[in-house]
Amino acid sequence: MYKIGELSKITKIPVKTLRFYDNEGILSPDKIDKYTGYRYYSASKIKDCYRILALKELGFTLEEIKIQFSISKNDLISKRSELSELKSKTEKRLANLHSLYSSLENNGDAFNVVIRKSDDMQVLYSRNVITDCKDIDALFSKLSELIPNEGLLHRKVIIDYNTEYDNGIFDIGVGIELHGEHKGFNTKKLSFGELSACLACSEESYQNALLFINKYIDENNYQIVGPVYKILYKDGTVEIKIPVFPLSHTELAPIRESVPSHFENDENAIGRWELIDTLACYEQFNIQKLKDRRGDKEIYFLPDGENFYQYTWTNGYLIYHNAGQITKNPYTIKEFDGAAFMLIEMRLFYGRYGGKPIIWVLKKISSKKYSANEIRIQDEIPVEFINDVNVIGKWKAFDIALKVDSYFSESERFLELDKLFWHSAEFLESGLLINEFKGQITKKLYTLDNFRWTNGCIMDINELVVSKYIIKQFKGEDYLFIEWKSGDYKFGGKVNCYYVFKRGE
């Protein structure tokens, strides 16, 4: 048995604190001498002392420790979750503080972003496609002529519907706030969604503020789900509102949606389409700016739902399948002036983080009933085998590269090892190439032996695809670069990257 002073020396807990724990019923002595009042503790109380200290370190209050001193595994899991959330919030606050510091240092402006629910706004409204933003003042002047003078005291708003595909064309909405009834006017209720990122600034600092709020949205795991609203106040203050949706901080389990077991035809969908725009929401769709636009990505809806690259389809849905994920993406077809446009709710991209679909806008180029063999590229396979002793042996996938020449000047890896699909390549003297790939869902390795090689290239015999390879040396090590000719090449002629290998067993 140990006296209270001896227990204090062993555990480094002050005597005063041990007495307090006793009075609070947290740590009682095993024995109290009825004549002297001395407290005596058994050796087992040392373990209890350390548990108290550990629980305090984890953030448990003394009251929590008292109530559930024999803490359960579930309690610890709950506390771990609480601390993880606190850690995430603290990291987010530190990042926001850093951004605020950077904005002050670089621009002299302190930008403060808040995420909140915003009230709707009723406006006299006009939407236009213009080529010069200076025309916005003239648009406001036309609206002002329609309302009494007191309307000039109200807020004005500019709605930026532009997307990344807008080249020199500006899709702009303008509005003047209205109060009360205004029959006969072209009015619109502006709704900023469930949540919006809000920031107030001066007109002079608007561009910097816009960059700042977009960076904030990205760094704090939000998805933009609407246009940019620029609200103008009479004293020169500008308020920015951007509708947003919260995303998960980590990638969720692969999306594997059930798809129809039977194909249902849609004659209006069959043919060749080009991707001409991507939208954060349907409201950004504007036929005026899309009539003459051509896209840089083709999607074919083949008869009977035949597979095209990563896509199949059935009536009402484009089905996307890649890397073990399957999404069923609803589409609608609209016709304007004899041209057909398809709007598809693509669920994969932000969906991996619990977000909302983005809208693909496709324009129909041809209604021809193509076949897969008709539209895909098929390379000519070399017949003669030419040896290359430098490549013989086994190579382990190391990274991917967008360009070979600049790869070694990059400071960081492009892709982590565990995310690489291609695992290894073994070049045999016979011209046979044994490739190992990693399942995207199971993560198990599997082997394909339908590849051959000859000096300077490898050949996928089944797919009729020829990919060039090149060996480079860096710091005394050999690196093998092989063109990655996926579906983007077979159905579009694009080589997006190179796989990088190092020698290994």
pLDDT digits (tens, 9 = 90+) for 166-196: 777 899 999 998 876 666 568 899 999 899 9
Evaluate whether residue 32 is within a structural domain.
yes
Contact 21, 63 (CB under 8 A): no
Domain boundary among 211, 246, 281: 246
Contact 164, 189 (CB under 8 A): no
Regarding whether 410 and 350 lie in a shared domain, the answer is no
Contact 126, 143 (CB under 8 A): yes
Contact 284, 276 (CB under 8 A): no
Evaluate whether residue 431 is within a structural domain.
yes
CA dist 429 and 228 (Å) reads: 60
Regarding whether 124 and 32 lie in a shared domain, the answer is no
Query: Residue 254: its pLDDT value, please?
Result: 81
Regarding whether 462 and 409 lie in a shared domain, the answer is yes
Query: Residue 100: its pLDDT value, please?
Result: 56
Evaluate whether residue 382 is within a structural domain.
no
Q: What is the CATH number of the domain that holds 166?
A: 3.20.80.10
Regarding whether 121 and 175 lie in a shared domain, the answer is yes
CA dist 330 and 314 (Å) reads: 10
Contact 227, 161 (CB under 8 A): yes
> Nearest CA to 317 among 345, 293, 289, 340?
345
pLDDT band at 409 (very low <50, low <70, confident <90, very high): confident
CA dist 319 and 6 (Å) reads: 72
Q: What is the CATH number of the domain that holds 427?
A: 2.40.128
Contact 124, 185 (CB under 8 A): yes
Is the alpha carbon torsion for 219, 222, 223, 225 positive or negative? negative
Question: pLDDT over 90 for what percent of the chain?
Answer: 47
- Rg of the chain taking only CA atoms, in angstroms: 32
pLDDT band at 50 (very low <50, low <70, confident <90, very high): confident
Contact 365, 292 (CB under 8 A): no
> 315-374: per-residue pLDDT in tens?
999 999 877 789 999 999 999 988 999 999 998 788 889 999 999 999 999 999 999 888
Regarding whether 371 and 400 lie in a shared domain, the answer is no
Regarding whether 289 and 242 lie in a shared domain, the answer is no
Regarding whether 482 and 367 lie in a shared domain, the answer is no
Regarding whether 422 and 329 lie in a shared domain, the answer is no
Query: Residue 400: its pLDDT value, please?
Result: 93
CA dist 485 and 238 (Å) reads: 49
- Region 60-69 average pLDDT: 75
**Most confidently predicted of 184-188, 384-388, 418-422:** 384-388
CA dist 497 and 296 (Å) reads: 18
Evaluate whether residue 78 is within a structural domain.
no
* Residue 376 DSSP symbol: S
Query: Residue 68: its pLDDT value, please?
Result: 61
> 88-109: per-residue pLDDT in tens?
767 666 666 666 556 554 555 6
The two tokens of residue 121 are: 């706004």
> Nearest CA to 481 among 470, 489, 467, 473?
470
Query: Residue 73: its pLDDT value, please?
Result: 57
Number of compact structural domains in the chain = 4
Q: Average pLDDT of the chain?
A: 87
Phi, psi of 134 (to 5 degrees): -65, -20
pLDDT band at 234 (very low <50, low <70, confident <90, very high): confident
Evaluate whether residue 72 is within a structural domain.
no
Residue 428 to residues 398, 449, 453, 458, 468: CA-CA distances in angstroms? Answer: 20, 11, 9, 12, 17
SS3 state of residue 474: strand
Q: What is the CATH number of the domain that holds 23?
A: 1.10.1660.10
Regarding whether 199 and 141 lie in a shared domain, the answer is yes
> 261-299: per-residue pLDDT in tens?
899 999 999 999 999 999 999 999 998 888 777 887 889
Evaluate whether residue 383 is within a structural domain.
no
CA dist 160 and 171 (Å) reads: 7
Q: Which residue has the higher pLDDT, 60 or 380?
A: 380
Domain boundary among 375, 410, 444: 375
Evaluate whether residue 402 is within a structural domain.
yes
Q: Which residue has the higher pLDDT, 118 or 153?
A: 118
- Region 115-122 average pLDDT: 91
271 bridge partner residues: 301
> 466-495: per-residue pLDDT in tens?
999 999 999 899 999 999 998 888 888 889
Note down the domain range covering 448. 393-503
CA dist 498 and 415 (Å) reads: 12
CA dist 429 and 175 (Å) reads: 72
Domain boundary among 43, 67, 91: 67
Contact 197, 113 (CB under 8 A): yes
CA dist 226 and 65 (Å) reads: 48
- State pTM to two decimals: 0.69
Query: Residue 85: its pLDDT value, please?
Result: 72
Name the residue with tokens 């983080």: 353
Contact 331, 322 (CB under 8 A): no
448 bridge partner residues: 435
SS3 state of residue 193: coil
Contact 345, 329 (CB under 8 A): yes
Judged by average pLDDT, the poorest of 283-287, 303-307, 412-416 is 412-416
pLDDT band at 158 (very low <50, low <70, confident <90, very high): very high
pLDDT band at 385 (very low <50, low <70, confident <90, very high): very high
Evaluate whether residue 443 is within a structural domain.
yes
Regarding whether 279 and 345 lie in a shared domain, the answer is yes
Query: Residue 415: its pLDDT value, please?
Result: 76
Query: Residue 71: its pLDDT value, please?
Result: 54
Regarding whether 416 and 359 lie in a shared domain, the answer is no
Query: Residue 136: its pLDDT value, please?
Result: 92
Q: How far is the first Cα of the chain from the last one, in angstroms, to the nearest whole number?
A: 62
